[in-house]
């Protein structure tokens, strides 16, 4: 009797795990993924990472005021990098969904596939670079007079945004994918 209960429990557990895995691997709808994107104000982010702005503040504020201001700017910079990282994860899932689903227009299949592959690769690279940038921001937090550039994140994000918009236009010409504000 106990053996039967254990077997039934094991089968039920395996079924639940299988269902959870299948749901996680199932391509999400384009609309559901797009709803998870949070647009980034690129101009504001560019201002936060501009070394000239940091230098201006360093020259015109006392050391204590500069540390306070720089730490506030670093918090904002980290928030932008976190949003870029989350958007990269979503865009990677969009790319995987585009690769997994067949297109209604066979003539665009090759271009959609190429764009989706590029978007997925760029998204994974941005995600990893954002994680490294967050570590550098933490180091800058500890030593506010030290400043590392995170401009590479913004440049990669803008390229990723362009790829996402191209893929969106190829898959559904009437609806734009927006990952930047403004």
Q: What is the pLDDT of residues 77-121, one digit of tens each?
A: 899 989 989 988 988 888 888 877 755 455 557 777 888 888 888
| The predicted structure's pLDDT at residue 14 | 59
Q: Is the pLDDT of residue 63 over 60?
A: yes
pLDDT greater than 70 at residue 132:
yes
Structure-model confidence comparison of residues 9 and 48, the more confident one:
48
| Domain regions of the chain by residue span | 28-171
Burial class (CB in 10 A: 0-12, 13-18, 19+), 13: exposed
CA dihedral sign of residues 51, 57, 60, 64? negative
Nearest Cα to 119, choosing from 167, 180, 51, 181? 167
pTM exceeding 0.75: no
CA atoms within a 13 Å half-sphere pointing along the CA-CB vector of 169: 9
Model pLDDT for residues 23-50, shown as the tens digit of each residue: 554 555 656 666 678 888 888 888 888 8
Q: What is the pLDDT of residue 79?
A: 92
Decide if pLDDT at 130 tops 70. Answer: yes
């Amino acid at each position: 009797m106990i053996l039967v209960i254990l077997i039934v429990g094991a089968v039920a557990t395996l079924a639940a795990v299988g269902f959870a895995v299948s749901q996680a691997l199932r391509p999400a709808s384009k609309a559901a993924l797009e709803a998870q994107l949070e647009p980034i104000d690129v101009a504001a982010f560019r201002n936060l990472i501009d070394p000239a702005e940091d230098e201006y503040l360093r020259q015109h504020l006392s050391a204590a005021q500069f540390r306070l201001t720089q730490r506030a700017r670093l918090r904002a910079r980290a928030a932008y990098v976190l949003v870029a990282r989350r958007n990269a994860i979503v865009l990677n899932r969009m790319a995987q969904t585009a690769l997994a689903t067949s297109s209604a227009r066979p003539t665009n299949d090759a271009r959609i596939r190429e764009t989706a592959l590029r978007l997925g690769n760029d998204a994974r690279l941005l995600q990893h670079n954002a994680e490294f940038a967050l570590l550098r921001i933490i180091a800058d937090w500890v030593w506010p007079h030290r400043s590392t550039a995170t401009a590479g994140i913004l440049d990669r994000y803008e390229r990723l945004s362009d790829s996402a918009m191209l893929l969106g236009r190829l898959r559904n010409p009437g609806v734009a994918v927006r990952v930047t504000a403004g």
